[in-house]
Amino acid sequence: EAQVTQNPRYLITVTGKKLTVTCSQNMNHEYMSWYRQDPGLGLRQIYYSMNVEVTDKGDVPEGYKVSRKEKRNFPLILESPSPNQTSLYFCASSLNWAGELFFGEGSRLTVL
Amino acid sequence: KNEVEQSPQNLTAQEGEFITINCSYSVGISALHWLQQHPGGGIVSLFMLSSGKKKHGRLIATINIQEKHSSLHITASHPRDSAVYICAVTVGGNEKLTFGTGTRLTIIP
């Protein structure tokens, strides 16, 4: 089954404790991206990747890092989480940068 | 001003009504997406358009590139259509995706 898998789905952590949210797709998609969704602000793009070893900033990249060492995986790294990074995070992939998007189920992160 | 504006923000209708949700954008685009998000749920892609019109079941999406406007129509609406509908655009020459704030649709039986 074609899917985008995110883990963890729910996480409560404390300020400054590094964490990684994983994202994996099994569709051989070139394009992968991360978004955060906040009430009243909607979805905003954090980072995206056009292909292996190619990543670029979206609209809200501060406080986040990404890597794309393999085509199927695109982890989101929070080196030193802060409470303003409490949010619902979505990973998505598509065949290319203008293709149909496939979203993961979302990861709800709370930073205390 | 947001690059992507949706209207209405909230819409409540009776089952069976014809629904229209609008999306206007202020930049040149290479693609426009319509997404659906059920309460507490994930996000599903409904349509990806670069021109013209697409139909899938009871859903129809249209785009007018010259007027920078897209509409999502739902015919014979049903309570299971209750969800947030989100418009997103890929700005031309740029791989970034910019989202509208969504339209919350509630269909009453």
List the single residue in B with minimal CA-CA distance to A97. B95
The answer to whether the Cβ–Cβ distance between A44 and B50 falls below 8 Å is: no
Q: Does the pLDDT value for residue B93 go beyond 80? A: no
A-B contacts at Cβ under 8 angstroms: 57
Contact status, residue A107 vs residue A9, Cβ threshold 8 Å? yes
Looking at residue A27, its pLDDT comes to 95
What pLDDT sits at residue B74?
98
Contact criterion met (CB below 8 Å) for B20 and B103: no
Close Cβ partners of A33 (under 8 Å, ≥ 6 residues apart): A45, A46, A47, A48, A49, A58, A74, A91, A92, A93, B97
Position B1 scores a pLDDT of: 58
Contact criterion met (CB < 8 Å) for A42 and B95: no
Please list every residue in chain B whose beta carbon sits closer than 8 Å to the beta carbon of residue A106.
42-43
**Shortest distance, CA A22 to any CA of chain B (angstroms):** 16
pLDDT of residue B65: 92
Which residues pair with residue B31 across a beta bridge? B90
Question: To the nearest whole percent, how much of chain B has pLDDT over 70?
Answer: 97
Residue A107 pLDDT level (bands cut at 50, 70, 90):
very high
Selected residue of A48, A101, A107 to mutate for chain B interface (largest B Cβ count, 10 A) = A101
| Per-residue model confidence as pLDDT tens digits over A60-106 | 999 999 999 999 999 999 999 999 999 999 999 999 877 889 999 99
pLDDT digit string, tens, across residues B45-80: 999 999 999 999 999 999 999 999 999 999 999 999
pLDDT digits (tens, 9 = 90+) for A11-30: 999 999 999 999 999 999 99
Q: Which of B95, B96, B103 to mutate to test the interface with A (most CBs of A within 10 A)?
A: B95
Pick the residue from chain A with its C-alpha nearest to B31. Answer: A98
* Cβ–Cβ under 8 Å, residues A76 and A64: yes
Which residues from chain B sit within 8 angstroms of residue A100, using beta carbons?
Answer: 33, 45, 48
Q: What share of chain B is helix, strand, coil (3-state, %, to 5)?
A: 5, 60, 35
